[in-house]
Amino acid sequence: MLMKGDNMIKEYTQLDKIEGPLIILSGVENVSYDEIVEIRTKSGVKHGKVVQLYKDKAIVQVFEPTSGLSVKDVSVKFTGNPLTISLSKDILGRVFNGIGEPIDGGGNVFGGVKRDVNGRPMNPVAREYPRNFIQTGISAIDCLTTLIRGQKLPVFSGNGLPHNELAAQIVKQAKISDEENGEFAIVFAAMGLKHDDAQFFLKSFEESGVLQRVVMFLNLADDPVVERIITPRCALTAAEYLAFEENMHILVIMTDMTSYCEALREISSAKEEVPGRKGYPGYLYSDLASLYERAGMMKTSKGSITQIPILTMPNDDITNPIPDLTGYITEGQIVLSRDIYQRNVYPPINILPSLSRLAKDGIGEGYTREDHPGLANQIFAAYSKVQEVKALSQVIGEDELSDIDKKYLQFGKAFEYEFLNQSFDENRSMEETLDLGWKVLSILPESELDRIDSKLIEKYYRRG
Amino acid sequence: MGDKTGVIIYINGPVIKADNMQDFRMREMVTVSDKKLIGEVISIDGSIGTIQVYEETSGLKVGQKVYGTGKPLSLKLGPGIIGNIFDGIERPLNYIYKKSGNFIGEGIGLASIDLSHIWKTDISVNIGDELKEGDVFGAVQETPLIKHYLMVPPGISGKVIFKVDNGNYNMEEVLVKLEKGNASFELKMYQEWPIRTPRPIKQRLPIQKPLITGQRVIDTFFPIAKGGTAAIPGGFGTGKTMTQHQIAKWSDADIIVYVGCGERGNEMTEVLEDFPKLIDPVSGLSLMNRTILIANTSNMPVAAREASIYTGVTIAEYFRDMGYNVAVMADSTSRWAEALREISGRLEEMPAEEGYPAYLPSRLAEFYERAGYVKTLCDKEASVTIIGAVSPAGGDFSEPVTQNTKRFVNVFLGLDRKLAYARHYPAINWLSSYSGYLTSLEEWYKDNVAEDMMELRGEMLSILQEESDLLEVVKLVGEDVLPDDQRLTLEIAKVIKIGYLQQNAFHKEDTYVPLNKQYEMLKIIDLLYKESKEAIKEGIPISKVKSPEIYEKVVKMKYTIPNEYKNEFDDLSNEIKSYFEGLMHTYDMNAYER
Ligand SMILES: Nc1ncnc2c1ncn2[C@@H]1O[C@H](COP(=O)(O)OP(=O)(O)OP(=O)(O)O)[C@@H](O)[C@H]1O
Ligand SMILES: [Mg+2]
């Protein structure tokens, strides 16, 4: 069933089948894989993309709910193009929905360039290896999981843990602007975010005075699930434009990646694909990589994209496919712990599983301070010993511990309550953070410091 | 042959099907649509052929054409490979960069090493010489470190009836002509070889030499052999890539092929930025002079990921055939297996374990079997060593890729999340790792390092084993209640762990440690252990025996004693001896006085 529309674009007025988020049409001609489809019904326009072609049949994945759709009374148009969004510097301060349409009443973005939201892989020879650290003012991050400009460093959290506060604090305190090149912006992608949480971010951006430098792509908890697949792609396309064409330093916050993955699982099962672990599709790794790898720096541009994806670990389980595959792709992770949070410590970062892989090239002499790598190493080693001692003290009782073990417990407490713990408004300098590190570490006798150069111990260790 | 065309009828991600394919061959390389996307025929059923496409298929349409090339997916092998970085099917990333800019587009077409490049060529044969397959007929100094021997391709032989003089030639120039019967062959500076077929050798030889990595836990405890196979499994962030990079930097292989298979773009950039600045400890020249990179990062097309490790190992075999010891790092083989799974899924094949195709084990075996210590066709001893990283889901080693890999490799370097969390690097678990080459290499260690090197190794390992048993007890009762000799075991184990097993890749002295220093360090720890044990036997309490000063000196000798040490180890051992002499003496005196 077809008829001629304008511009020789054919319109199809009959569907074969509707199955969950998928519609199937036959008799199609000249349709290309991955192109965007417009589906007009009496109640409005929906969008979708071609996910499979077989002879004259096309399977289209619809971004909005298909409920209410019927096989008749529709008009389907193949646009011939992949999904693109319009971009110019005017997107700063704007709010878009999950598929990149303006929802702030500000109208369309005019005069901009059009970019395919799927992006393209960055050529490794075009990349520049990120080496400059970003001071966040948060001790646990600055000292132990140092954030580097151009890094992808996710927050692994759990329901009810203060990951939003942490992200907001980073946005507020992060010195992402270069002295000479003060251009920075924040791209915020919400996938299935609760209204309260979105409100919280909005308010905190406002308070930090960055609202005019934020671009938001919002797919909220009650917005269409399938649309979530597109949201981070729109956001990252905007980020790439601002970073690599406008030479800006971009911080991308993407939350909640768990909702994104669940949307992907839903579509995969509708397509009857062979499910992998926990029902997620086998290509979850590649799919996540196609998002996370869109962070970095390039030789031809002064800008950068730093990504802080946030995900909530189902059951606080770090081996769940979502955190697991994320960790395999990102350049480290910041892991929040319920235990520590219950001890009333903010930010409740469990430093042991946390890691910044790019820190190695961005800290130490010439970058932060000469003692930084050794100090960090020693804190990790000592805090891991604290966990052993804690386990032992639960068996034999604290009183029975050896003197040195008692020192470790004391160190553990001081570390959590003095070093980790800081208020939402507290912005510590790198110098303060490192000094604080030495202060708590000096609870341990000098002879326990086996990871630090003797000369540095001499210089920084606090005796008596 | 080249003008057959199929017609696309089905498109699903990297997998497409075309009709009219009856004249195509299985595994034939094809180009798809006018964009000339590269693909490979992976099955033919009547007139319907299935093709895996090595580039993004967005924008393809039903009805577009598939063109045959008449040959299997192959590589051009010749000068210009070393120091270069390629995608999964040997297209230079620099060339792609020139064509499509910062971001990789599709439709780059077939590209390979630069055939127009002029090389200074020496020809080493004369008219009338009889050449057989694998014989060397000339050479090009490809990098200051590597002489690139020009070889007669496998399957070809004959009498030299034409040769050019030494001089500068581009790669399309016919350098030598061979004649055999009434057939003749033109030899150029490069040859082509299909990636899925192992290159022939004369004979496999037994393993006899270690691949020296400068990493103590590997060289001393779990040595890798030249021509051997090793797997490095570990959860995310446990140090697979770091270990592979360390081996790529410091091992005594002649040539390194580093395959970034489904991993991070920045890791490839890091190699590109760092290696040219790193100096090879043996030659004093930049490490890039011996390094080849293959990159299919996690966001590049999945089908090319499947091909990338074959591309890597084929290049390795080619340099092996010249007589070199080549080491291939594949990071990560799990991403390759997942690519296999994804394509298999789209083909709707029957999945076996965890969705992986039933042929996963045989593919893994075929891959690792391409390693070996061999006699080449031209009678040289040479090797391909394969070291594969494995990224098990959830860090759980019971999953199919780790389990099947374990069946086919001889060295297993299991990375441990707990060690990584405590920043014990390299996080190689000394209890669960193993090397199957100990017996084959024992002789070599005896002849080249020291008679008792392996003995010391065994002793250290048994201390660590004992420690692990004791720690079970300590967990329940604490350390204080153990008798002094057992507490000593714990102390010495700590020295081994911190002072020996831990090795800081970022420390300029510690990042690479030659075997003789490894041995001297072992001897010092052994001395400390024996002296301490003796003292404890005499009834001296552990608190006295464990002199913080002496123990700290031993733990930090890795930093304080340089790789080009002179008397430092003798001095340290004298210091240990005299400390214990003094201790014994005072103790004897005290005993006497009592
Ligand atoms: N030998 C080492 N010396 C010092 N640091 C190390 C060493 N090995 C690992 N690390 C630390 O561990 C981090 C993670 O290591 P690496 O990137 O090799 O992990 P991986 O196992 O490859 O993880 P993934 O599977 O996610 O790629 C490094 O960035 C570094 O900080
Ligand atoms: Mg890695």
ipTM: 0.92
Confidence at residue A277, expressed as pLDDT on a 0 to 100 scale: 86
CA distances from B299 to A120, A235, A287, B40, B477 (A): 8, 17, 8, 20, 51
- C-beta separation of B213 from B220 below 8 A: no
CA distance A406 to chain B (A): 12
pLDDT tens for A378-389 read 999 999 999 999
Q: Which conformational region is residue A241 in: left (phi greater than 0), alpha (psi within -120 to 50 degrees), or beta?
A: alpha
Inter-chain CB proximity A293 and B338 less than 8 Å: no
Residue of A nearest to B550 (CA): A447
Output the CA B434–ligand 2 centroid distance in Å.
21
What is the CATH number for B543? Answer: 1.10.1140.10
* Bridging pattern class, strands B65-72 and B48-53: unpaired
Span A446-456, average pLDDT: 90
Does pLDDT of B282 surpass 90?
no
Span A304-312, average pLDDT: 96
Tokens of A362: 């961005």
Q: Answer yes or no: is B380 within a domain.
A: yes
Q: Which conformational region is residue B122 in: left (phi greater than 0), alpha (psi within -120 to 50 degrees), or beta?
A: beta
- C-beta separation of B393 from A312 below 8 A: no
- C-beta separation of A156 from A387 below 8 A: no
Confidence at residue A4, expressed as pLDDT on a 0 to 100 scale: 43
Inter-chain CB proximity A447 and B506 less than 8 Å: no
Q: Kindly state the DSSP code that residue A274 receives in the 8-state scheme.
A: P
Confidence at residue B534, expressed as pLDDT on a 0 to 100 scale: 93
CA distance A222 to chain B (A): 30
Q: Which ligand is nearest to the CA of A326?
A: 1
pLDDT band at A336 (very low <50, low <70, confident <90, very high): very high
Inter-chain CB proximity A32 and B302 less than 8 Å: no
Q: Tell me the DSSP string of A148-207.
A: BTT-B--EEE-TTSTHHHHHHHHHHH---S-SS---EEEEEEEEEE-HHHHHHHHHHHHH
Residue B589 main-chain phi, psi, to 5 deg: -60, -50
- Classify residue B381 by burial, with Cβ atoms within 10 Å: 0-12, 13-18, 19+: middle
- Classify residue B277 by burial, with Cβ atoms within 10 Å: 0-12, 13-18, 19+: exposed
Chain B CB within 8 Å of residue A115 CB: no
Q: Answer yes or no: is B85 within a domain.
A: no
- C-beta separation of A361 from A331 below 8 A: no
- C-beta separation of B364 from B403 below 8 A: no
Does pLDDT of B243 surpass 50?
yes
Confidence at residue A2, expressed as pLDDT on a 0 to 100 scale: 41
Pocket test for ligand 1, best of B425, B429, B504 (most atoms within 8 A of CB): B425
| Boundaries of every domain in chain A | 2-81, 85-361, 372-460
Choose the closest CB to B103 out of A123, A128, A395.
Answer: A123
The CB density around residue B57, as the number of other CB atoms within 10 Å, is: 26
Q: Answer yes or no: is B443 within a domain.
A: no
Span A52-75, average pLDDT: 88
Span A151-166, average pLDDT: 96
Confidence at residue A404, expressed as pLDDT on a 0 to 100 scale: 92
Q: Tell me the DSSP string of B56-122.
A: --TT-BTT-EEEEEEEESEEEESTT-TT-EE-TTS-BHHHHHHHHTTB--S---S--S-TT-EEEEE
Nearest CA to ligand 1 atom 8: B239
Q: Which atom of ligand 1 is nearest to the CA of B426?
A: 1
Cα-Cα-Cα-Cα torsion A155, A156, A160, A165, nearest 10 degrees, comes to: -10
CA distances from B574 to A383, A390, A457, B147, B550 (A): 36, 40, 26, 47, 11
Closest CA to B199 of B290, B324, B365, B316: B316
Q: Kindly state the DSSP code that residue A18 receives in the 8-state scheme.
A: E
Span A82-101, average pLDDT: 93
- C-beta separation of A382 from A175 below 8 A: no
pLDDT tens for A189-231 read 999 999 999 999 999 999 888 889 999 999 999 998 888 999 9
pLDDT tens for B375-405 read 999 999 999 999 999 999 999 999 999 999 9
CA distance B540 to chain A (A): 20
Write down which residue in B189, B214, B243 finishes a domain: B189
Closest CA to A420 of A358, A312, A336, A318: A336
Place of tokens 């007669």: B152
Residue of A nearest to B33 (CA): A32
pLDDT tens for A316-330 read 999 999 999 999 999
- C-beta separation of A282 from B342 below 8 A: yes
Multiple choice CATH, A2-81, 2.40.30.20, 3.60.20.10, 3.40.640.10, 3.90.1150.10: 2.40.30.20
Residue list, ligand 1 pocket, CB within 6 Å? A 328, 355, 357, 360; B 234, 236-242, 263, 391, 425-426, 503-506
Contacting residues for B563 by C-beta, under 8 A, at least 6 apart:
B509, B512, B513, B514, B517
What is the CATH number for B404? Answer: 3.40.50.300
Chain A residues with CB inside 8 Å of B264's CB? 293, 329, 331
Output the CA B384–ligand 2 centroid distance in Å.
22
pLDDT band at B108 (very low <50, low <70, confident <90, very high): confident
- C-beta separation of B66 from B38 below 8 A: no
Q: State whether B409 and B466 are in the same domain.
A: no
Q: Answer yes or no: is B97 within a domain.
A: no
- Terminal CA-CA length for chain A: 88
Q: Which atom of ligand 1 is nearest to the CA of B234?
A: 21
Confidence at residue A1, expressed as pLDDT on a 0 to 100 scale: 36
- C-beta separation of B168 from B188 below 8 A: no
Q: State whether B167 and B46 are in the same domain.
A: no
Nearest CA to ligand 1 atom 15: B239
Tokens of B382: 């040479």
- Terminal CA-CA length for chain B: 101
Tokens of B406: 């374990």
Residue of A nearest to B234 (CA): A328
Residues whose Cβ atom is located within 5 A of ion ligand 2: B 240-241
Angle at the Cα of A429 from the Cα atoms of A423 and A430, rounded to 5 degrees: 120
Does pLDDT of B349 surpass 90?
no
Task: For domain A85-361, say whether CATH 3.40.50.12240 is its number.
Answer: yes
Does pLDDT of A6 surpass 90?
no
Confidence at residue A177, expressed as pLDDT on a 0 to 100 scale: 52
Output the CA B237–ligand 2 centroid distance in Å.
7
Inter-chain CB proximity A54 and B421 less than 8 Å: no
Q: How many domains does chain B have?
A: 4
pLDDT band at A8 (very low <50, low <70, confident <90, very high): low
Tokens of A92: 């700063």
Nearest CA to ligand 1 atom 28: A357
Chain B residues with CB inside 8 Å of A352's CB? 421-422
Q: State whether B180 and B207 are in the same domain.
A: no
Confidence at residue B321, expressed as pLDDT on a 0 to 100 scale: 97
Angle between helices A372-396 and B453-477 (to 10 degrees): 50
Inter-chain CB proximity B556 and A454 less than 8 Å: yes
Percent of chain A residues past pLDDT 70, beyond the cut:
96
Distance from CA of residue B228 to its chain's centroid?
10
Q: State whether B346 and B419 are in the same domain.
A: yes
Q: State whether B460 and B570 are in the same domain.
A: yes
pLDDT band at B594 (very low <50, low <70, confident <90, very high): low
Q: What is the mean pLDDT of chain B?
A: 93
Q: State whether B185 and B210 are in the same domain.
A: no
Inter-chain CB proximity B12 and A276 less than 8 Å: no
Confidence at residue A3, expressed as pLDDT on a 0 to 100 scale: 43
The CB density around residue A371, as the number of other CB atoms within 10 Å, is: 23
Chain B CB within 8 Å of residue A391 CB: yes
Q: State whether B408 and B508 are in the same domain.
A: no
Same fold, A2-81 and A85-361: no
pLDDT tens for B407-416 read 999 999 999 9
Does pLDDT of B240 surpass 70?
yes
Span B120-126, average pLDDT: 96
> Which domain covers residue B554, as residue numbers?
453-593
Determine the Cα–Cα distance for residues B133 and A211; give it in Å rounded to an integer. 70
Q: Answer yes or no: is B477 within a domain.
A: yes
Q: Answer yes or no: is B407 within a domain.
A: yes
Beta strands per DSSP E along B310-402: 325-331, 372-375, 381-390
Q: Which atom of ligand 1 is nearest to the CA of B246?
A: 1
Span B258-280, average pLDDT: 92
pLDDT tens for B537-584 read 999 999 999 998 999 999 999 999 999 999 999 999 999 999 999 998
What is the CATH number for B41? Answer: 2.40.30.20
Residue of B nearest to A122 (CA): B103
Give which of A34, A120, A287, A337 to mutate to test B binding, by max B Cβ within 10 Å. Answer: A120
